[in-house]
Homo-oligomer: A and B are copies of this chain.
Amino acid sequence: MTDAPAPTPSYSYLGPAGTFTEAALKQVPEARGTNWRPVNNVGEALADVVAGRSVAAMIAIENSVDGGVSATQDALATVPGLRIIGEYLVPVNFVLVARRGTALAEVRVVNAHPVAYGQSRGWLERHLPAHGHIPATSNVQAAASLFEEGDRADAAVAPPGIVELLDVDVLARDIGDNPNAVTRFVLVGRSRELPAPTGADKTSVIVELPDDEPGALLAMLEQFSTRGVNLSLIQSRPIGDALGRYRFVIDLEGHVRDERVADALLGLRRFSPNVIFLGSYPRADRREIQYHSKYDDGVFVEARDWLRGILSGEPEG
């Protein structure tokens, strides 16, 4: 008698096939040959992870034009037990597509996801100054809607990969306003095992500030600066219970197994009424973290040894 084969693991992503999120998932070596579950939004993707239906979910967390993806940041702040395990970058590029035989001059209404619309608005206003906009729930859905009964759109803004999925004419390429646009994705799981440090890592946390304390944001930032830890992202998000209360989504350079990062997190935890550790993971760009040698691990270890000597009453080295 033999064991039953382990079931193939699943990865959730914002579907359908053809989205930028799928392009991000294609960058994950571990995801090859597994089940890929297309879902409708970030909430569903994370629910899959929490319920164990997927080992991880790929979700957009920032793009260079539109800033933090609010829904993702808020979900990570409120759904417990999640960990970011990887970061991926996808260049953002758009095409304008239409049903076969449509000419650009005929386009009066454009279907587009609001973010994609915002990123190609310059092109659209130059080439289709009188166009109307219908918002879609995703970039692929924008194009798919062209084939739905009753849809009023003549064209759609879509990712380049759309041509592999739908029978459309491409009316224009590279219509994004920013040729360097890129979207940042994170792979989120629920394993509490930390990826090994690589020297090119990021650590993500979500931090609440203590109430009614003028200078609290300054005091929080000092927790990092006094340990030589740089921030690559800081975003405020309303906590939602009252106007004027915020939490901060923070990416820091380094791994929690780096002494300077661990010590900064200790300081942060003492300072803040609520810190959520979202994980330490390799940076998408694999760029090595630079920091002053006075924040080397050895400096922290040496200081602890020194203090231990004082507390134990042993003679100094």
Contact = CB atoms under 8 A, between A and B. Distances in A.
Interface of A: 62-67, 70-71, 81, 89, 114, 118, 133-137, 149-152, 178, 180, 182, 184, 192-194, 210, 214-215, 217-219, 221-223, 225-226, 230-238, 240-244, 246, 256-257, 262, 265-267, 269-271, 275, 277, 294-295, 299-300, 302-304, 306-307, 310-311, 313-315
Contacts of A114: 114, 135
15 contacts: A64-B241, A64-B242, A67-B238, A135-B135, A150-B151, A178-B241, A215-B225, A218-B221, A219-B226, A222-B222, A233-B244, A234-B246, A266-B300, A266-B307, A269-B303
B271 A294 contact: yes
Nearest to A222: B226
A151 B303 CA distance: 54
The secondary structure that dominates the A interface is mixed
A300 B137 contact: no
A243 B135 contact: no
A137 B240 CA distance: 22
B243 A64 contact: yes
In the A-B complex, the 4 residue pairs with the smallest Cβ-Cβ separation, listed nearest first, are A150-B150, A269-B303, A64-B243, A67-B238
B137 A65 contact: no
A100 to B, nearest CB: 21
